[in-house]
Amino acid sequence: MKLSSTLLLLAPAVVAYRLPAGPVAATRLHRLTRPLCTASSPVATAESELMGATPPTLSLLAPAKVNLFLRILRKREDGFHELSSLFQTVSLMDRLDFWSLPADASQPRCSMEVTPDSLGAELIPTDQSNLVMRALDIFAENTGETRRVHCRLHKAVPAQGGLGGGSADAATALHAANRLAGFPVSQEKLIVWGGELGSDVGFFLSQGTALCTGRGELIEPRPPLPARPVYLVKPLEGLSTPAVYKALGLSPGDELDGDDPAELLKSFEEGEGTYVNDLEPPAYEVMPSLQTLRDELRGYGFDAVMMSGSGSTIFCVGEPEEAEWKAKVAEKWEVEIFAEAFCSRGADEKLWYGEE
Task: Please identify every residue annotated as catalytic.
Answer: 65, 200
- Residue 231's beta-bridge partner residues? 316, 339
CB of 320 to ligand C5P, least distance (A): 31
- Residue 262: is it exposed, middle or buried by C-beta count within 10 angstroms (0-12/13-18/19+)? exposed
Binding site for ligand C5P (CB under 6 A): 80-81, 83, 198-200, 215-216, 241-242, 245
Q: Which is nearer to ligand C5P, 14 or 70 (CB)?
A: 70
CB of 264 to ligand C5P, least distance (A): 17
CB of 203 to ligand C5P, least distance (A): 11
CB of 212 to ligand C5P, least distance (A): 9
Q: Would strands 304-307 and 314-317 be described as parallel, antiparallel, or unpaired?
A: antiparallel
Q: How many of the other CB atoms lie within 10 Å of CB of 156? A: 24
C-alpha–C-alpha distance, residues 197 and 193, integer Å: 7
> Which has the closest alpha carbon to 219: 205, 233, 229?
205
CB of 79 to ligand C5P, least distance (A): 6
Q: Which is nearer to ligand C5P, 82 or 334 (CB)?
A: 82
Q: Which is nearer to ligand C5P, 75 or 228 (CB)?
A: 75
Q: Which is nearer to ligand C5P, 48 or 241 (CB)?
A: 241
Can you list the positions of beta strands (E) in 115-217? 148-154, 209-213
> Which has the closest alpha carbon to 280: 302, 250, 309, 318?
309
C-alpha–C-alpha distance, residues 271 and 303, integer Å: 12
Is the torsion defined by CA of 73, 74, 75, 76 positive or negative?
A: negative
> Which has the closest alpha carbon to 56: 115, 117, 11, 144?
115
Q: Which is nearer to ligand C5P, 78 or 122 (CB)?
A: 78
- Residue 15's beta-bridge partner residues? 31
CB of 159 to ligand C5P, least distance (A): 13
Q: Which is nearer to ligand C5P, 29 or 197 (CB)?
A: 197
Length of the chain: 356
Q: Would strands 229-235 and 314-317 be described as parallel, antiparallel, or unpaired?
A: antiparallel
Q: Which is nearer to ligand C5P, 115 or 310 (CB)?
A: 310
Contact partners, residue 74, CB within 8 Å, separation at least 6: 81, 82, 250, 253, 254, 255, 256
For residue 1, give the H/E element and its range. Answer: none
C-alpha–C-alpha distance, residues 277 and 138, integer Å: 32
CB of 42 to ligand C5P, least distance (A): 24
